[in-house]
Amino acid sequence: MTAQPVHVVLPVRGMHCASCVVRIEAALKSLEGVLSASADLASRTVAVSFVAVPGQLGVRDLKRAVERAGYDVLGESGSRVEAENRSLWAQQEEEGVLLRRLQGGLFLAAPLYFADAWNLSLYTRLLLALPLQVWGGWHFHEGLWRSIRRRRADMNTLVSLSTWAAFLYSAYVTLLPETLPLAARHDQWDAVSGLIILVTLGRWLESKTRGKANEAVARLMRIAPKTARVQRGERFETLPIAEVQVGEVVLIRPGEQVGLDGTVLSGDSTVDESLLTGESLPVEKSAGSAVWGGTINKTGALEIRVAKPGSESALARIVEAVRMSAAAKPRVQRFADRVAAVFVPLVILLAVSVALVWAFWGPEPKSIFALTCLISVFAVACPCALGLATPLAVSAGMGRAAQMGVFIRNADVLEAVGQLHVVLFDKTGTLTEGRPRVESLILVEGEREETLAYALAAERRSEHPFASAVRDYAEAQGISAAPVDSFESFPGRGVLIRSGARTIRAGSLSWLKENGASLSADQVRKLQDAAGSILGVAQDGRFLGAFILADAVRPSAKGAVSALKAMGLEVYLISGDRNALAYRVAEAVGIGTVFAEIDPEEKAKTVERLRSEGKRVAMVGEGFNDAPALSVADIGISLASGTDIATEAADMTLMSSDLLVLAKALRLCRKTRRVIWENLFWAFAYNLLLIPVAAGALYPWFGVMLKPQYAGAAMALSSVSVALNSLRLRRKEI
């Protein structure tokens, strides 16, 4: 028997740049049995999938691998949310340390800046610089020591080496000035203090803005319900959400949060679902209505039966899906990670080479020019912005999507949205309300009660919206279902039951005819002239009759189609329903191209045919019969009101019934993709432009040298600018 993969999320302390991400992933992937490892710099967590082998590979081995790479593992969790809580605590602790070092560093650095004006002696300057270098820059030096132990360089290596180079040279000038030429007797205390203060400031600001990028999802985590009032015996007890079992009854009073997903047993109320759907208008709830964990009960008391544990509630799944998709790497970030893996060693080699060139062939004082270029190249080239470019944008974009009532399964959707050509809409339950009602029953060979009893029995176990309408119609007339011995579903066609010696089919006319139902051409024509969808019922080849069903078009459908067309997308309708009805709905919403009277397999083949023509296709559906097409489309988009299998097959799920949210979600994906590319462009351009300047390339022509403290400030500014650019995605105007 094949062992099932184990999924674990490790919160890691010490990740600061893209090189750290590459190093941690490489350390984990080198272990035999590890299937995948994805480190997320924004949340400082690592998601690992592996095959646990007793005595050979376990979570302890994963921790050891990360620690050997030079990082601290803060624990383990099967949930990214729990792991991020631990990481968030460590990050807040680090923020406090950085702030204290920054404040203390400013106190020590101020006299160094005014040393000449205050006429401080050389030894006083050294005594002030020593605690600034050792204590104020300890977080960099600690990283340098770890990089030496693991023989891999990163951002801390560059910053620490640059400050030590400036400090040791300045100390040498102070203690042994007579051994140097007069022109070389210039200390670099301004470089030491400037680098430590400005880079520490940049890291602190980056940490603050990084937290803001994740704020939307952090808000969901904070306001998630923690307890529920559960019926135990004759009374209700307040218990933690984790202790509530599926099937138990929970009481929600007016003004309280709904703790878990479930179904209303009794009571009438309105519920604010804006947290999940983005829609501000409360939704009426009564017996039989579905309610979601995290929503707010407004007016009346409700008793609900719990349908899912707290860890699987709609809110928990949204938070987890957003976090998982934020941690997943789009192709462009995987390329950036490969660059980062070799970037720091190349920078060190370049800096040393440039310093040697200036030391041998530069103008006097050669040592000062060589040292300045060495320190400046080290300081300016830290790849922080490169590592933050994608995860911060993805976190901010996914968080904004969650606020809109949309969650996206993986980050590659962002790439795919930017390349879309066609959006295919299913009809029933997608463009229409999905709540059809029976307008009439046309009898052919059957008696009314007999036809209703067979139809009720056949549709009792079906998830199709037509089935629900038939059940409501039959039960409203007091009909009892015929006994059922077996049930079989044929997605997109109908259902089959056996009741004693009888075989009953309920479904499309074409399917019934294929299976021997006695339908004349005139009867088919007469039924198809009816203004509505048709659900036929046949017993052992005898056609009993047909239900005529009507379903209203969603009010937002026409506006959504117009918005998608305005984005340059082609919009088609694809349906298993009759041509006449499909074209009627298409005309109502403004769609010109229709594929009608096709089964689920043909839907999938239609998607594949469009893709073979070079078109990128998004499929929007919500039914069991849409799952094949959703799974083969470039992007599968499901409505949360749909079946579980459709939601599982989709890359994007809309919690709201407002289809205009779809256009907003696609625009947000495009904007997120654009911000990622902007971030990466500026991260690369910054290094390509400033490394030559730091190396002194402009000095021979313009006499310009980049001072180390300015190089450090530029490096810090690049990380902060990437974070601030990502924060634009949190705006509500999309």
Q: Active-site positions?
A: 426
| Virtual torsion, Cα 426, 429, 432, 435, nearest 10 deg | 160
Distance CA 637, CA 449 (A): 40
Number of CB atoms found within 10 A of residue 645's CB: 19
Burial class (CB in 10 A: 0-12, 13-18, 19+), 370: buried
Closest CA to 675 of 466, 422, 400, 359: 400
Amino acid present at 257: Q
Written as six digits, the tokens of 259 are 């703790």
On whether the CB atoms of residues 606 and 598 are closer than 8 A, the answer is yes
SS3 call for 46? strand
On whether the CB atoms of residues 706 and 195 are closer than 8 A, the answer is no
On whether the CB atoms of residues 537 and 546 are closer than 8 A, the answer is yes
φ/ψ bin of 533: left (φ > 0), alpha (ψ from -120 to 50), beta (otherwise) = beta
Closest CA to 78 of 130, 13, 11: 11
Alpha-helical segments (H) within 39-188: 59-68, 80-113, 122-131, 138-150, 155-175
Closest CA to 71 of 150, 6, 157: 150
Beta bridge partners of 276: none
Q: What are phi and psi of 435, to 5 degrees?
A: -125, 65
Amino acid present at 713: A
Written as six digits, the tokens of 511 are 């399917």
- In the block, which residue shows the tokens 């999802």? 217
